[in-house]
Amino acid sequence: MTSQIKILGVGSSLRNGSSSTAFLQIALDLVKKEGVEVRMLDLRQNKLPLYDPNENRSSLEFQKVEENVKWADAFILATPDYHGSMSGAMKNFLDYFWSDFAGKTFAYICASHEKGLTVMDQMRTAVRQCYGWSIPYGISVNGQNDLENGKIKNHELKLRLEMLARDLVVYGKLIRQQFVTDMTNNVTNTFASHYGK
């Protein structure tokens, strides 16, 4: 990796005018202010077929998403709350790319009427199973209450998003750098030697 990390935002609502994706864009703009390169991967625009382990993955859609995943050192995952869990599109994304997450840090945004705590816990569990690291808190948003004409109208939420942007850049960089250093130097019996590839 270069001296600065690169952050990919993954939006996973297929709904027109999604609030989770709108907040993800706001978060990415805040990350950019930290001097970091960001990209948005909106799964509504880049639809992946349902994951099938038998299928040949040569489609252009797959290759485009894969290029973004490999480019990233850290992620912000944004999802709507669907019955206390993440969207099918988000779970499908994690199923495809699990092997690219070791040594990368993840932050979470959930659009919910009920805080979405179980949603973010489930994303954290899936990411842990893929050897990714998670920011221990998440950001819960409610499009109706927190957004007006695409702008945040909740000051506390803006502060939390700024905190998330700063923390992801700082902790994401520390974790990624150590992982890459251990991999490069073939340091044995470490997280990187066990779970890197």
Ligand X SMILES: Cc1cc2nc3c(=O)[nH]c(=O)nc-3n(C[C@H](O)[C@H](O)[C@H](O)COP(=O)(O)O)c2cc1C
Residues in contact with ligand X by CB under 6 A are: 13, 15, 18-21, 80-84, 111-114, 143
Closest separation between CB of residue 150 and ligand X, Å? Answer: 13
Q: Whose Cβ is closer to ligand X: residue 22's or residue 36's?
A: 22
Report the distance separating Cα 186 and Cα 67, nearest Å: 25
Q: Does residue 112 contact residue 119 with C-beta atoms inside 8 Å?
A: yes
Nearer to ligand X, 103 or 116 (CB): 116
Shortest gap between Cβ of 129 and ligand X (angstroms)? 23
The tokens for 50 are 């349902």
Nearer to ligand X, 83 or 197 (CB): 83
Q: What is the smallest separation between the CB atom of 87 and ligand X, expressed in angstroms?
A: 8
Nearest to ligand X of 102, 111 (CB atom): 111
Cα–Cα dist 136/140, whole Å: 13
Minimum distance from residue 56 beta carbon to ligand X (Å): 31
Q: Where are the beta strands (DSSP E) in the chain?
A: 6-11, 37-42, 74-80, 105-111, 133-134, 139-141, 147-148, 151-152
